[in-house]
């Protein structure tokens, strides 16, 4: 399974970015191959409007089934994300990707 | 690091006065971010030095290169915003009305239209007269505040707070309930709602509370200008209880506020009584903030 | 209606909360005793004028903006639409094209450039327009639905309605949204005269300066009304004098005005100092109208 994170920096020890559309990085962990892929979100962050929508499309293209983030996507982004089967875990504030992932595993045993 | 975001919905309720007062009370341990870019006033009270200035570009705007233009009129035909001007057969774009959609550039058969990054204003990093760092911005006329600009201001404030090891970021948030205010709230540790007892302000308060609940943010409310409409103050208090929003304090409708603005000071610097009131509101906020 | 005879006054302010609505509503109500006029509430996100007026509205007219609607049968998923949209208002999620109404600026680019006509433009509700009349007083308000974020399309619709209707007085007062951004630019665009309402504080002066800069870049004729005179200093007056901008009237600060306003009441009948200030505004505007071609 692929797990996506909104991240402030491109590694496991970085904090979860509370924002969705304007997150610094989108990180995708592939449990099967045990690899963490970095997607720099600089282009979308620069969008004046509709960053959430653009991010939703990008997230769709990664094929992730879980999103771990902070505030959670806004209304527009949710409308797009409803087209994919995605589990969204919100409320991960001031916590590293690593810890957020462990937390997710514990909750979903 | 705690991010305290101060918002009000309606203008004129005293949001900037409250933000500036907290910034003064916590001056050795805070960074200020003025995200109310449409009516930025914080700089009048805190006199930032604008030591670092960058141009800010946002969105696109069309420009017609006259030497390539054959005056075919296709651009004017497709423009929904009446932004294509024709004078003596010469075509040009009115930047005030161009929305930057780029339709004209795509249909121009002569490649005479270029979409340029719109020069929208400036971003500043400063040191204020009270010694604390501040991030702020200034827009050109007709340019709009946006989620992007708010994020740019906040990112600078966050970096400055990390560099100078400050505990608090005081955010003077954007007005309204649209994209800029949502961007102001992203990452907030605690939200202070500044309201006044008037029909219009209460209406806006309710829309903001709905937004805060959606993002599950912790918030408290401060009722300013209480004497304006005492019965409505009670109504607001009941509303806050129902919605589980902390009541942080009540401020009077007092000449001390305009006097402080006239003196270009925060009210906590000019009036002892207001200083006590604001200090207790701020202590209250800190205890709620850390009570998680 | 003879277009040449209409005279449009925009009441604007750099920042919110300076008394723009107080001036616009009281001025319109008082002046309508002497002559026919129209008040237009263009603060479409927060239209508050009607709270102060006792007028009987005609049935509300629903207002629409044009939004592309995806036709899946015609679509070849070529991605031209998602690429041309500069507002991120269209996304492709696999085999679905999703249009985001609140982000769409109704520019028609995706619709017009779609090679298979798979995105025809369809009307979508954005709000309401209300027209009301009481003797010589005409009132029009635009009101965006909650959740609609773009004020400009609604403001343009309201102004188009005013332009089109034949039965509307030629003296027209536009109560504009606050600020100096796109909504204001659109609201004052067709005005013959702009009245900027400010307050005598450092905040008021700062925002007035920004508003004046905006109006000057649009070549608008303007005058200033200072509200709550007495709460601050004379910096606004001095700046106006030095900049060659006429201060048309000053409204002295009076807590009774603030209380009445908070309760949604007009004050010109009971407050003589407000009435005097409004008379000065009327005299000033009447003079301007005489020389208006």
User: Domain locations in chain C?
Assistant: 3-63+126-291, 70-119
The CATH architecture annotation of domain C70-119 reads: 2-Layer Sandwich (3.30)
- Here the tokens at position B143 are 């340019």
- Here the tokens at position B69 are 């233009």
The distance of Cα C232 from the centroid of its chain, to the nearest Å, equals 28
Of these ranges, B196-210, C71-85, C90-104, C169-183, the one predicted with the greatest mean pLDDT is: C71-85
Residue of C nearest to A82 (CA): C93
DSSP for A42-98, please give it: HHHHT-SS-HHHHHHHHHHHHT-SEEE-SS---HHHHHHHTTS--EEE----S-BHH
Q: What percent of chain B clears pLDDT 90, i.e. is strictly above it?
A: 70
What would the pLDDT profile of B42-73 be if each residue is shown by its tens digit? Answer: 999 999 999 999 999 988 999 999 999 999 99
* Whole-complex ipTM: 0.82
| pLDDT above 70 (res B176) | yes
Buried (b) or exposed (e) across B211-236, using 16+ Cβ within 10 A? bbeebebbbbbbbbbbebbeebbeeb
Domains and CATH numbers, chain B: 2-48+128-290 (3.40.50.300), 58-119 (3.30.70.20)
pLDDT at C112 (0 to 100): 97
The CA-based angle C143-C148-C152, given to 5 degrees, is: 70
| pLDDT above 60 (res C1) | no
Residues across chain B: 292
Rounded to the nearest 10 degrees, the angle between the axes of helix B272-290 and helix B15-25 is 80
Pairing status of strand A2-7 against strand A25-30: antiparallel
The more confident residue out of A56 and B207 is A56
Q: Mean pLDDT across the stretch C136-153?
A: 87
Residues in chain A with CB shorter than 8 Å from the CB of B151 are 19, 22, 45
Give CA–CA dist B7/B14, Å, rounded: 10
Partner residue facing B229 (CB), from C217, C232, C263: C263
What would the pLDDT profile of B3-25 be if each residue is shown by its tens digit? Answer: 999 999 777 789 999 999 999 99
DSSP conformation class of B142: B
Residue A84's pLDDT band (cuts 50, 70, 90): confident
Tell me the residue ranges of DSSP E strands in chain C: 7-12, 37-41, 56-57, 61-68, 90-93, 96-99, 121-134, 137-144, 171-175, 193-198, 222-229, 246-252
Residue B292's pLDDT band (cuts 50, 70, 90): low
Residues across chain C: 293
Residue of B nearest to C231 (CA): B258
Q: What percent of chain C clears pLDDT 70, i.e. is strictly above it?
A: 98
Q: Mean pLDDT across the stretch C154-166?
A: 93
Residues in chain B with CB shorter than 8 Å from the CB of A48 are 58-59, 146-148
What would the pLDDT profile of C84-137 be if each residue is shown by its tens digit? Answer: 999 999 999 989 999 998 889 999 999 999 999 999 999 999 999 999 998 899
What would the pLDDT profile of A32-53 be if each residue is shown by its tens digit? Answer: 999 999 999 998 888 878 899 9
The more confident residue out of C247 and B13 is C247
pLDDT at C2 (0 to 100): 47
The CA-based angle B179-B183-B187, given to 5 degrees, is: 155
Contact C72, B86 (CB under 8 A): no
- Here the tokens at position B232 are 């409505």
**Could you identify the residue written with the tokens 């340029």?**
B116
| pLDDT above 80 (res C12) | yes
CATH number belonging to domain C3-63+126-291:
3.40.50.300
Give CA–CA dist B274/B97, Å, rounded: 45
Within chain B, where are the H helices? 15-25, 42-46, 74-78, 103-107, 147-163, 179-185, 199-214, 230-242, 256-262, 267-270, 272-290
Give CA–CA dist A56/B272, Å, rounded: 51
pLDDT at B112 (0 to 100): 97
Q: Mean pLDDT across the stretch C9-19?
A: 87
Domains and CATH numbers, chain A: 2-107 (3.30.420.130)
Partner residue facing B187 (CB), from A19, A46, A91: A19
pLDDT at C4 (0 to 100): 58
Tell me the nearest-neighbour CA distance from B198 into chain C, angstroms. Answer: 5
What would the pLDDT profile of B91-107 be if each residue is shown by its tens digit? Answer: 999 988 899 999 999 99
Q: Which residues of A touch B (CB under 8 A)?
A: 18-19, 21-22, 45-49, 51, 70-72, 74, 90-91
Residues 6 or more apart whose Cβ sits within 8 Å of residue C223: C193, C194, C195, C196, C245, C246, C247, C248, C284
**Could you identify the residue written with the tokens 């209606």?**
C1
């Amino acid at each position: 399974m692929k797990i996506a994170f909104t991240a402030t920096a491109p590694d496991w020890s970085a904090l979860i970015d509370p924002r969705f559309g304007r997150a610094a990085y989108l990180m995708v962990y592939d449990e099967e191959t045990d690899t963490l892929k970095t997607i720099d979100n600089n282009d979308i962050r620069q969008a004046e409007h509709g960053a959430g929508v653009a991010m939703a499309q990008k997230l769709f293209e990664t094929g992730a089934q879980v999103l771990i983030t902070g505030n959670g996507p806004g209304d527009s982004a949710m409308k797009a994300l409803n087209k994919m089967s995605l589990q969204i875990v919100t409320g991960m504030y001031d916590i590293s990707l690593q810890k957020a992932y462990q937390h997710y595993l514990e909750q979903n045993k | 690091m705690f991010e305290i975001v101060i918002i009000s919905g309606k203008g004129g309720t005293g949001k900037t006065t409250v933000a500036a007062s907290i910034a003064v009370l916590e001056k050795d341990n805070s960074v200020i971010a003025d995200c109310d870019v449409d009516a930025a006033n914080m700089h009048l009270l805190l006199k930032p030095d604008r030591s670092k200035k960058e141009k800010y570009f946002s969105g696109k705007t069309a420009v017609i290169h006259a030497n390539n233009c054959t005056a075919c009129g296709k651009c004017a035909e497709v423009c929904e915003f009446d932004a294509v001007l024709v004078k003596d057969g010469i075509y040009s774009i009115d930047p005030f009305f161009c929305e930057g959609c780029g339709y004209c550039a795509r249909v121009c058969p002569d490649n005479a239209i270029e979409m340029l990054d719109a020069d929208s204003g400036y971003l500043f990093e400063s040191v204020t007269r009270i010694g604390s760092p501040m991030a702020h911005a200034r827009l050109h006329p007709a340019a709009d505040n946006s989620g992007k600009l708010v994020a740019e201001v906040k990112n600078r404030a966050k970096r400055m707070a990390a560099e100078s090891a400050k505990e608090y970021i005081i955010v003077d948030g954007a007005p309204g309930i649209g994209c800029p205010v949502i961007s102001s709230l992203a990452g907030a540790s605690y939200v202070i709602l500044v309201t006044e007892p008037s029909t219009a302000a209460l209406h806006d308060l309710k829309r903001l509370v709905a937004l805060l609940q959606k993002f599950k943010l912790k918030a408290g409310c401060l009722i300013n200008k209480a004497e304006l409409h005492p019965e409505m103050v009670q109504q607001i208090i009941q509303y806050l209880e129902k919605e589980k929003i902390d009541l942080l304090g009540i401020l009077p409708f007092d000449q001390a506020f305009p006097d402080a603005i006239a003196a270009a000071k925060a009210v906590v610097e000019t009036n002892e009584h207001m200083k006590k009131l604001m200090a207790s509101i701020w202590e209250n906020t800190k205890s709620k903030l850390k009570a998680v | 209606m003879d277009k040449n005879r209409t005279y449009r006054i925009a009441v604007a302010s750099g920042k919110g909360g300076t008394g723009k609505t107080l001036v616009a509503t009281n001025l319109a109500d008082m002046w309508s005793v002497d002559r026919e006029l129209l008040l237009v509430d263009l603060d479409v996100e927060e239209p508050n004028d009607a709270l102060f007026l006792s007028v009987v509205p005609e049935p509300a007219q629903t207002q629409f903006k044009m939004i592309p609607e995806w036709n899946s049968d015609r679509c070849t998923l070529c991605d031209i639409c998602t690429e041309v949209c500069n507002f991120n208002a269209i996304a492709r999620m696999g085999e679905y094209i999703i249009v985001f109404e609140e982000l769409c600026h109704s520019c028609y680019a995706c619709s017009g450039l779609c090679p298979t006509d798979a995105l025809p433009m369809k009307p979508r509700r954005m709000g309401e327009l209300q027209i009301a009349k009481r003797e010589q007083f005409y009132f029009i308000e635009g009101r965006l639905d909650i959740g609609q974020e773009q004020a400009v399309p609604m403001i343009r619709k309201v102004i188009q309605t005013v332009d089109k209707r034949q039965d509307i007085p030629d003296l027209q007062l536009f109560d504009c949204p606050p600020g100096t951004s796109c909504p204001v630019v659109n609201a004052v665009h067709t005005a013959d005269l702009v009245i900027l309402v400010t307050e005598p504080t450092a905040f008021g002066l700062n925002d007035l300066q920004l508003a004046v800069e905006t109006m000057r870049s649009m070549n608008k004729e303007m005058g200033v009304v200072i509200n709550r005179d007495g709460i601050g200093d004379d910096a606004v007056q001095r700046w106006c004098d030095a900049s060659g901008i006429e201060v048309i009237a000053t409204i002295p600060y009076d807590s009774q005005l603030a209380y009445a306003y908070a309760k949604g009441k007009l004050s010109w009948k009971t407050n003589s100092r407000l009435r005097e200030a409004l008379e000065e505004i009327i005299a000033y505007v009447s003079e301007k109208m005489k020389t208006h071609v």
